[in-house]
Structure 1
């Protein structure tokens, strides 16, 4: 009887240890639907293998896995009824719409640095169109890239031309509570806007709550480096952030950027905005999509770091 009692007590004690260990492990491992410390925004196609090609199904899948925002560069090109359905789906789930790109407001398609009236008119038309799209999807930010460098004009004149055009754009966006976020890129040296300090200077000159910085960490790692200090220097003008590791422009953990530390810095600044997941995926299929989610879980686990 004593031996039987001893075995029972030993078994119960062991079971208690196992249960406690299991509870601790469960507490440390986020459930699939748990949100993140920061607000990451996925793109159409990012979860197509797991949820199917229908964007609304991908939105639901992303939500179920803890993401609370999305961004869609090509939103302007979607049919109006699709824009409306996307807006309604996000509203139902309480999700946030990240950036979309102002039509003909990116790369070399429309160079504001030239000062040509026809280019400014195209940009302003894009701003007016963006206001209508933003209403359907409840967007707050739109991406603007001033276009190519104009080699026949001095940098001072080009900068003045860009500032003048952006001020006119802000006059359209500001009454509608829409913010254009200027993005410096690394795609080609022909682009006018290339660095965070240049973008900061222009935002200060435009002097509007509707003209701020989109700090794309991937592009700025290539052009500027020194990411945390660069972000800190321009912080009061940064309204939106995008993500991508370098080299390769894939998810965090695939390149040289210590995203856990970068995210920790962003969180320490009290940032409540969206961080767009503007990058590819390093592995194919469902496995790649699960690895993508796990990479964000790992890098978002910075509070104890």
Structure 2
């Protein structure tokens, strides 16, 4: 398992571009962030080279929704741009979502006028078209379900089973799920069972404790047992620490490195 620090949430005491150095000093060799088109990719590339860091993932979508068929062409065009950005940074994973997210992760459109069948069908249709593109580019698109209890009210994709069903319909080795343990603890629990049942479909994992989205040990999730379960099923992908430190970022980050 490879540890990745989400520098959108960790080391926020300093400017974004100064967080690369701090991530390295904490012991990380992988970092991730959210949007890419508001950042200087050349500078990110240079900083990664300077500090021996790999970009593990960033967001591949933005203003468009998988569940809206009228967005299909624009969604695919934007993912293509994201793939080009990923190739520039030698990043192998792009995070995608069912709905467009605005400032603070607010779901832009709940699509209440559309049935769940219509939303699911649109999502699978667009993912199917993206599969060949991702395979040819050597990029994995990881589809993330989000909690609708606290952070992303109105998001269509809110359960692991639905994300897994969607990618099974597509049946591509380059379309997998991002299993965010914080989000899914709030929605469904049963973390260890879900890991055992779905490990072949998991392409990426995000970690934060619940409630609060702070570091492991601050909430109700037994991460000692969760990490053991991941080891038991031979998960060898990324563990992205997408969380808010409860105190000094460097202290928390060094603690994350020591977790496993």
Q: Mark the CA change 1:89 to 1:152 in structure 2 (over 3 Å): closer, same or farther.
A: same
Question: 2: CA distance between counterparts of 1:64 and 1:289?
Answer: 12
Unaligned runs of 5+ in 2: 100-108
What are the Cα deviations for residues 31-74 of structure 1, in whole angstroms up to 9, with x where unaligned? xxxxxx7423331462354xx4252x432332232111100112
What's 1:171 paired with? 132
Aligned partners of 1:252 and 1:295 also within 8 Å: no
Question: 2: CA distance between counterparts of 1:138 and 1:124?
Answer: 20
Alignment of 1:258-273 (within 5 A): 258-273=222-237
Q: Does 1:85 align with 2:43?
A: yes
What's 2:202 paired with? 238
What's 2:68 paired with? 114
Aligned partners of 1:245 and 1:256 also within 8 Å: yes
Q: Displacement, 1:98?
A: 1.8
Number of aligned residue pairs: 248
What's 1:53 paired with? 15
What's 1:132 paired with? 84
What's 1:13 paired with? none
Q: Mark the CA change 1:294 to 1:248 in structure 2 (over 3 Å): closer, same or farther.
A: same
Q: Mark the CA change 1:45 to 1:193 in structure 2 (over 3 Å): closer, same or farther.
A: closer
What's 1:5 paired with? none
Q: Mark the CA change 1:237 to 1:195 in structure 2 (over 3 Å): closer, same or farther.
A: same
Runs of 4+ deviating beyond 4 Å:
none
| SS of residue in 2 equivalent to 1:180 | strand
Alignment of 1:27-46 (within 5 A): 38-44=2-8, 46=10
Unaligned runs of 5+ in 1: 1-36, 301-305
Q: Displacement, 1:293?
A: 2.5
Choose between structure 1 and 2 for higher RCO, CA contacts under 8 A separated by at least 6 residues: 2
What's 2:93 paired with? 141
Q: Among residues 167, 173, 176, which one is paired with 1:212 in the alignment?
A: 176
Q: Displacement, 1:294?
A: 4.5
Q: What is the TM-score of this pair, normalised by structure 2?
A: 0.86
Q: Displacement, 1:211?
A: 1.0
More strand by share: 2
Q: Does 1:99 align with 2:51?
A: no
Q: Displacement, 1:241?
A: 0.5
| SS of residue in 1 equivalent to 2:86 | helix
What's 1:69 paired with? 30
Q: Mark the CA change 1:159 to 1:248 in structure 2 (over 3 Å): closer, same or farther.
A: same
What are the Cα deviations for residues 219-242 of structure 1, in whole angstroms up to 9, with x where unaligned? 000111011111221111100011
